[in-house]
C-alpha cells in the first residue's frame, strides 16, 4: 500500500468512526507510527483531517458532514462551557434565533429563564428540548425539508419563514470559520437558511469549538466581521483569537 492509498484509508476510517488513533492505524496498516504521523500531517495540510494528541478527526468539507448524533459525543465539556458563555450574551433580546447543531441546542437550553423569550429554530432537537422545559419560552419551529443527519429544516420554506421576521439576536453555528473565507457550511440549502438568519437578525453571535477554526467548507454565508462576538474554548490559541478579533468581533475563550 503506497502513501496515497494509505491516506485514503485513513480518511475513510476517520469519517466512518469520527476519529482515528495513531497506534491503531499503525497496527491496521502495518506501518510505523511515524509513517502514520507523516500521513496525518499531509492530510491536515490538505484540509481533510485535524490532528489531535495521539490521532486525528475528520474535517467537515464540501463532501462530508458529521451527524448530530456524532456531534453530541465529542468535545462535550467544551461545548457546554461555550453554550453557557454564549447564552450570557442574550442581553435584553426578546426574540432569538438558534441555529441547528449541538452547541446551539445547548445554548438554547442555557438561555435566561427570568423573562419571556421567543425562540425561532430550524432544529427539531432544539425545539423538542425547549418545549419540554418548564419556562417562559415561545418556540417557533421553522418548516421545511428535514435533513436526516442534522434533524433540521432547510430549503425555500425555511428561508421564506425567516424572511418574515425581525429578530433581536441570532446564535449561529458553522462547519468552519476562517479569517480568509468567513463562515462556511457544506450544503447550499443550509447556507441559505443561515444567510437568511443573518439578514433577519440585528445582532449575531458565533459559537463553536476550536476545531472549527481554519476549516473551510463549500458555501460561505457570512464574514467574521458580521459578528459582534465569537465564543470558543481555550484550545484556540490566544494569538489566533486576537487575529479574529482584529476583524471586528469580541472573541471570548472559555
Same domain, 33 and 158: no
Same domain, 117 and 40: no
Q: Decide the pairing of beta strands 176-178 and 182-185.
A: antiparallel
Does residue 164 lie within any of the structural domains? yes
CATH code at position 227: 3.40.50.1360
Q: Which residues of 22-52 are buried (b: 16+ CB within 10 A; e: fewer)?
A: beebbeebebeeebbbebbebbeeeebbbee
pLDDT for the residue 46: 77
Pick the more confident residue, 242 or 56: 242
Query: Per-residue pLDDT tens for 27-80?
Result: 999 999 999 999 999 998 877 888 888 999 887 765 677 788 878 888 899 999
Same domain, 23 and 132: no
Query: Phi and psi dihedrals of 214, rounded to 5?
Result: 90, -10
**Mean pLDDT calculated for residue range 155-168:** 97
Q: The cell 419563514 sits on which residue?
A: 161
**Mean pLDDT calculated for residue range 229-244:** 96
Same domain, 111 and 37: no
Sign of CA dihedral 217, 123, 148, 106: positive
Q: Global pTM? A: 0.82
State the residue range of the domain holding 98: 68-253
pLDDT for the residue 63: 62
- Give how many domains the chain has, as a whole number: 2
Does residue 145 lie within any of the structural domains? yes
Does residue 137 lie within any of the structural domains? yes
Does residue 63 lie within any of the structural domains? no
pLDDT, the chain, mean? 93
Query: Per-residue pLDDT tens for 199-233?
Result: 999 999 999 999 899 888 889 999 999 999 999 99
Amino acid at each position: 500500500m503506497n502513501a496515497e492509498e494509505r491516506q485514503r484509508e485513513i480518511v475513510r476510517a476517520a469519517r466512518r468512526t469520527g476519529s482515528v488513533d495513531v497506534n491503531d492505524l499503525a497496527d491496521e496498516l502495518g506501518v510505523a507510527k511515524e509513517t502514520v504521523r507523516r500521513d496525518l500531517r499531509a492530510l491536515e495540510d490538505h484540509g481533510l483531517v485535524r490532528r489531535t494528541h495521539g490521532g486525528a478527526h475528520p474535517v467537515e468539507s464540501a463532501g462530508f458532514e458529521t451527524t448530530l448524533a456524532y456531534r453530541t459525543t465529542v468535545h462535550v465539556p467544551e461545548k457546554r462551557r461555550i453554550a453557557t458563555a454564549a447564552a450570557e450574551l442574550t442581553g435584553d433580546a426578546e426574540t432569538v434565533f438558534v441555529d441547528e447543531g449541538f452547541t446551539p441546542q445547548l445554548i438554547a437550553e442555557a438561555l435566561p429563564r427570568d423573562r419571556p423569550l421567543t425562540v425561532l429554530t430550524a432544529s427539531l432537537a432544539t425545539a423538542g428540548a425547549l418545549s419540554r422545559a418548564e419556562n417562559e419560552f415561545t418556540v417557533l419551529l421553522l418548516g421545511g425539508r428535514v435533513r436526516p443527519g442534522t434533524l433540521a429544516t432547510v430549503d425555500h420554506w425555511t428561508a421564506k419563514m425567516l424572511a418574515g421576521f425581525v429578530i433581536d439576536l441570532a446564535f449561529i453555528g458553522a462547519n468552519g470559520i476562517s479569517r480568509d473565507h468567513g463562515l462556511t457550511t457544506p450544503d447550499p440549502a443550509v447556507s441559505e437558511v443561515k444567510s437568511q438568519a443573518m439578514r433577519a437578525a440585528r445582532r449575531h453571535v458565533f459559537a463553536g469549538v476550536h476545531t472549527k477554526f481554519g476549516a473551510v467548507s463549500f458555501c460561505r454565508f457570512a464574514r467574521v466581521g458580521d459578528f459582534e462576538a465569537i465564543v470558543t474554548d481555550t484550545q484556540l490559541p490566544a494569538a489566533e483569537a486576537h487575529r479574529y478579533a482584529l476583524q471586528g468581533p469580541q472573541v471570548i475563550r472559555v
